[in-house]
Amino acid sequence: MATATKTTTVLRDWAEIGAAVKGTISLSSDGDVSTSFEAGVMVVVCPIEAVANALGALVTVEGRFGANDEDWRDLYTLRMGAGTAKTTDVDVESSGVTLSVTSTTDFEQAGTQFLVHDTVTPVNSELARTQTFDNDVSITLEDALKNTQPITSDIYDIVATKYFPIPPEVKTVRIILINDDDDCDVIWRADLTQMTAIG
């Protein structure tokens, strides 16, 4: 049976983007998809402040269609991460499947996905999901934390994820994020997945 060769490349690791009246722009790295049979980009956007009715951020996936194509062309545009985030704090340094928190309110429902935001080292932020909880003590996670989360980490319940398939005609792809909310900072990341061979 033939097997597919798949790769994942981080185009933009977790990055905080501040609020600004006229918007703040952030770019991913360029992703070469010229030799891919299939490719797609997974984008995650989360607000990192509990601001009422936050706008979220505007995400645009752009592509170039050949080596001589000097212009980036919009493939998709989508607003992601809007809403009023609920939040709590990590109150004891945590690792493994137990996340110690100041309050479990709003994070007790099994399957709830949330962001663990490392405020000191943002690239160590990660997504997690509730399995069960000990009231106002800790959350037991479905999967172990990838990073040790310090007591300075915050937790937010709005996690906007979207997979954007890349048309086969596209040779290079990148993502633009614009935070045009003047009150609420966001954090985001983008990963490129490709199938480059079948054999």
Contact 87, 155 (CB under 8 A): yes
pLDDT value of residue 180: 95
Question: Could you tell me the CATH number of the domain that includes residue 25?
Answer: 2.60.120.680
Whether the model clears a pTM of 0.85, i.e. scores above it, the answer is yes
**Position 1 in a domain:** no
Number of alpha carbons in the 13 Å side-chain half-sphere of residue 35: 6
**Residue 193 to residue 9: CA distance in whole angstroms:** 6
For 148, the domain range is 87-156
**Position 138 in a domain:** yes
Domain identity same for 47 and 92 = no
Q: pLDDT tens digits for the chain (199 residues)?
A: 678 889 999 999 999 999 998 899 999 999 999 999 999 999 999 999 999 999 999 999 999 998 788 899 999 999 999 999 999 999 999 999 999 999 999 999 999 999 999 999 999 999 999 999 999 999 999 999 999 999 999 999 999 999 999 999 999 999 999 999 999 999 999 999 999 887 7
Domain identity same for 17 and 77 = yes
Question: Could you tell me the CATH number of the domain that includes residue 131?
Answer: 2.40.30
Between the CA of residue 52 and those of 75, 83, 182, 184, 191, what are the distances in Å?
30, 7, 12, 9, 29
